Amino acid sequence: MSTSAPLSAAPTTPAYLPAGPEPEPVPQARRAQLALLAAHLTPRDQWIIAMVHEHRVLTSRQIAALGFGSERIARRRLATLTHELRVLDRFRPLQRRGNGSAPEHYVLGPAGASYLAASLDLNLRKFGYSRQRAHQIAVSTHLPHTVGCNDVFVRIAAAHRTDPAGGRLAAWWSERRCLRLWQDLARPDGYGHYTLARACSEPAEARNLRFFLEYDTGTEALSRLSAKLPGYAKLAAATSPTPVLFYLPNVRREEHLHQLLAQDPPRVPVATTSPDALNAAESGPSGPVWRAYTGRARIPGRAVKRLPLIDLDQLLPAAASTRTAAGAAAAPTWWIEPPAPLPPADPHARR
């Protein structure tokens, strides 16, 4: 389509968005526009755009935790990316419970899509961007699930910023990426690779845990959660054993899931946690908050044993650590490497 196409061909701006200073860009961005973006985007900005695209929606708090020294500085930069450069769009959902307002939520904007498409040598049609589709999450009942699942990964990744000697989230794949890879077998809400350097190891080695995350909001029957495990078992048989981690809304539902699993033991390693467990341990999801399924009934009055995230590698066969990560052996033709969970070092960016 020519760059002189009528503006009516462009999608309309959603009503809840602030009015932009210029009309919607036409589908093919001019080279001058891309050159202008390239001159203004820092490496951290480029990482933010890629992360928002990969994970569909991220809040200002999540972006600040991953890439900034404070939420105030993050909001200031995000405002520039939204209003001036238009690489992001934002919305603020209604806060239905509690006091205060919800944080701003960011999705990929038109200029951001043009920039990513150009970096991959694609036009917007082949890139698959639709502003209307990008904003569907704002009114979707799936929004709390997506934001909550992303928050688990964000907390795991951000812990490395405050404790560089601790574990590191080396990879984080989105629900959409996992669905495209394994939809015929398993449909996790996310995939992660967590690694920790071995202390006093010569030569230097690292412990590695690759895992799937199932984020449960408590809106569906537990039997539907357990029914997903046979698919993971088939995937493990085709690749390598990978623990399935369930993040449940409370410790009571967590206990009920363990009881249900005892009736039909899973053929893959399973561990669970909940906000109650995190609060009791005063730790994030990388800490000692994970309850491994063992098949043994809980003894009344005895505290449940919980493991740090990295110690869940104990659930795997000894040979599993040397086998290839699930799905990583032969990348499909459409594969584009996802962004790293933490931004690249940018000496010119303000903390």
User: Where is mean pLDDT largest: 4-13, 163-172, 341-350?
Assistant: 163-172
Residue 282 burial (C-beta neighbours within 10 Å; 0-12, 13-18, 19+): exposed
CA distance 66 to 160: 9
pLDDT digits (tens, 9 = 90+) for 253-286: 999 999 999 999 999 999 999 999 999 999 999 9
**Mean pLDDT score, 131-144:** 94
CA distance 14 to 28: 21
The CATH number corresponding to 16-140 among 1.10.10.10, 3.30.450.20, 2.40.50.140, 3.30.1050.10 equals 1.10.10.10
Query: Which amino acid belongs to residue 277?
Result: A
- Strand 190-197 to 206-215 pairing: antiparallel
Residue 325 structure tokens: 């990560």
Domain boundaries, the chain: 16-140, 144-322
Q: Is the pTM of this model over 0.85?
A: yes
CB atoms under 10 Å from CB of 305, counted, come to: 11
pLDDT digits (tens, 9 = 90+) for 309-331: 999 999 998 755 544 444 445 67
